[in-house]
Structure 1
């Protein structure tokens, strides 16, 4: 059985219903929102009060901020803003006892050559991780990335025990022409976490895992073989598709 989280994309009452029936954790998304980070102590207190009954038992993960941010920026003010936001969300993850936090690569091929993105990103992440231990795992997630080589070079270049990849299979299916099997093989043991959702390669729908053209059983079996200790988050926004996905994971002995 895998350690699996559910992204908090549902209303609190629906999250509570799901968590009562399945042995899964929560991936908190609101600690990645600028308004929450502007008043992080209050946001943390509010989240604990709202979900105090259901966050006592589950494992917790945090999705960090990414909108309007870029660790690879050439602009010092953008880089400083990104560092401030990332530090704030890391602090919130630490305070709530989360086991991991996910940040996006923020790579845009229309803006960066891969060489400059890699160079700037390595500087940023070495600075960010300079005072971090491995008590919280830090995963870098592909979003609009059309391939994985620059992510491999970043992880290997930074070389920190807490630093690994979050492979988002839905993003890879939508944004890349490279088969998912090659993504998994290429990233290998660098995969520390996985985001699970499906689509038809046309739009980033975040469908249930059976609603798309990803061969989900083959992909998950390959991930298990390649990086057996990786944790997973079901990143689906509709209640009925969450339930059907969890039932499928249960039937196939992943849950």
Structure 2
């Protein structure tokens, strides 16, 4: 079965090194990758390697998004050395915007109330400066910066940050798997509060116990309710599928086909 009616309208997560290894699969099925720059990729991949991948995608007429690194990073760090290292690594990712011309760059807000809540004002000030600096880089190419939910338990910090950034290019990425596994609540706890900024959704499933990255329908997330809300509100965010196995990749495509997510757009 061909899924091009879906793959032409969404992105699929691929760590950069895996994308290099599986480029034949990507080209054969015309997958549009969300390229993860996690780990040591930004330090070990050469400019020539990045250029080869970008040119291969462009020549095939395939779009992409970039997912900036987030492991070990602290965009609102109170330690100036950790903050500088974080901004340096994130900056390397944003330096690739000109080469890849992505539809968006996804970043994690990285607010954790049990850590940062004790010095929320100082954290917010440092994080705001970080995102302002990166947003300025993205704005040079009119590429939106999507701030994704991870360990946040509600929309408050995203609303506060996006309001402060005050830019049409500063948007929200709703990760539905993180809503269930980390926030332990539902999409209704995030939307409609963040609907004015909604620019992207990450689709994967779990049963609320861990971030399993299953295909939609293999866990307990309320996809029909979310999709109905998006349709009713005429919201058309970018969509990225985030399966972590090839089996869940094909099951994710089958699920979107079965749910007819793109059928009426």
TM-score (norm 1): 0.87
Q: Which ranges in structure 1 are unaligned for 5 or more consecutive residues?
A: none
The equivalent of 1:34 in structure 2 is: 40
The equivalent of 1:205 in structure 2 is: 212
1:79 aligns with 2:86: no
The equivalent of 1:7 in structure 2 is: 13
The equivalent of 1:60 in structure 2 is: 64
The equivalent of 1:160 in structure 2 is: 167
TM-superposition CA deviations, 1:190-215 (whole Å, max 9, x none): 11101100000001111111111102
The equivalences for 1:216-235 within 5 A come to 216-226=223-233, 228-235=235-242
The equivalences for 1:174-253 within 5 A come to 174-226=181-233, 228-253=235-260
Report SS of the residue matched to 2:219. Answer: coil
TM-superposition CA deviations, 1:143-191 (whole Å, max 9, x none): 1111111111100111122111111000011112332122122211211
The equivalent of 1:47 in structure 2 is: 53
Q: Which ranges in structure 2 are unaligned for 5 or more consecutive residues?
A: none
In the alignment, which of 136, 144, 149 is matched to residue 151 of structure 2?
Answer: 144
The two structures, once aligned, show a CA RMSD in angstroms of: 2.5
Q: How many residues align?
A: 251
Q: Whose relative contact order is higher, 1 or 2, with alpha carbons under 8 Å and at least 6 apart?
A: 1
Which is further off, 77-86 or 39-48? 39-48
TM-superposition CA deviations, 1:115-146 (whole Å, max 9, x none): 44333222222233345426211101111111
- 1:217 and 1:124, CA in 2 relative to 1: closer, same or farther beyond 3 A? same
- 1:69 and 1:16, CA in 2 relative to 1: closer, same or farther beyond 3 A? same
Q: Work out whether residues 94 and 134 of structure 2, in 8 Å CA contact, stay in contact via their aligned partners in 1.
A: no
Q: Work out whether residues 5 and 233 of structure 1, in 8 Å CA contact, stay in contact via their aligned partners in 2.
A: yes
Q: Work out whether residues 99 and 135 of structure 1, in 8 Å CA contact, stay in contact via their aligned partners in 2.
A: no
Q: Work out whether residues 8 and 15 of structure 1, in 8 Å CA contact, stay in contact via their aligned partners in 2.
A: no
